[in-house]
Amino acid sequence: MTLRVDVLTLFPEAVAAYANTSVLGRARERGVWELHLHDFREATSDVHRSVDDTPYGGGAGMVLSPEPIVSTIENTPQLARPVIALTPSGRPFNQGVARELSALSGFTLLCGRYEGFDQRILDSVVDLEISLGDFVLAGGELAALAIIEAVVRLRPGGLGNDESSQEESFSEGLLEYPHYTKPARFRGREVPEILRSGDHARIARWRRAQALQRTLSRRPDLLTLAQLSPADQKLLKEFPVVDSTAEER
């Protein structure tokens, strides 16, 4: 089944441009997902096509008005559900949320601008709020594209090779192991010998060990999500952290 993604935005051309390139563009061509863009400025009725106004109670900036957004959502019956607003106070987005969304038949992303949404939008027509992270962007378009790509690559056929997403970072609650390609030696740094050994069982153990070590070092908070079995504990002792700084002999 094709995944339907609707995006409500003031800048549909920005979303469309990226959605037609690279992974997302190829996945659309294969019918993995389809994109429907809605410019909620088209639902305005005043001569200036205004979508925002000054905040009650004072303060800097402008707030997105409820009428254009609510009207767009209510008058688009084919809009995919749930409707997700991209807000700083939403549920933190991570690989687990991406997997949840990838299991749906579709969803809608609502992109904000200015100082954010009139609360009545969130209370009346939004099913869920999601935050990309603890930082501020000018609008929700970049966040929407990040979410779409994270989700589409998890769908069957999203990457062309479905095995590609199975060993990526966060797929098992761990960061991904280091990768290498030719040449075998570059500026005094060598590809670990084990990766050139042809012993695929040992390579798999080494990769698991490196993922564990990397997560311990860089993101220890993620280890609560991983199943650290006795075998994993053994791997941590069997394989040291990869040393890519060997001097030229």
| Among 116, 141, 159, 222, CA closest to 22 | 159
| Among 151, 160, 159, CA closest to 130 | 151
- Name the CATH topology of 169-238: Trp Operon Repressor; Chain A (1.10.1270)
CA–CA dist 116, 165 (Å, integer): 34
| Among 142, 143, 111, 145, CA closest to 35 | 145
Task: List pLDDT tens digits, range 20-62.
Answer: 999 999 999 999 999 999 999 999 988 889 999 999 988 888 9
Give residues with Cβ within 8 angstroms of 51, minimum separation 6: 10, 40, 41, 44, 64, 65, 68, 69, 113
Say whether 227 sits in a helix, a strand or coil: coil
Confidence (pLDDT) at 170:
57
The number of residues in the chain equals: 249
- Name the CATH topology of 3-163: Alpha/beta knot (3.40.1280)
Structure tokens at 212: 């564990």
For residue 100, the 8-state DSSP code is H
CA–CA dist 230, 30 (Å, integer): 42
Q: Where are the domains of the chain?
A: 3-163, 169-238
Confidence (pLDDT) at 174:
86
Confidence (pLDDT) at 249:
40
Beta bridge partners of 110: 8, 85
Alpha-carbon distances, residue 121 vs 1, 5, 70 (angstroms): 30, 20, 6
* Contact present, 13 and 150 (Cβ < 8 Å): no
Segments in the chain below pLDDT 70: 161-171, 224-227, 241-249
Task: List pLDDT tens digits, range 111-133.
Answer: 999 889 999 999 999 999 999 99
Rounded-to-10 torsion of CA 176, 180, 181, 187? 150
CA–CA dist 152, 19 (Å, integer): 11
- The pTM for the full model equals 0.83
CA–CA dist 69, 241 (Å, integer): 52
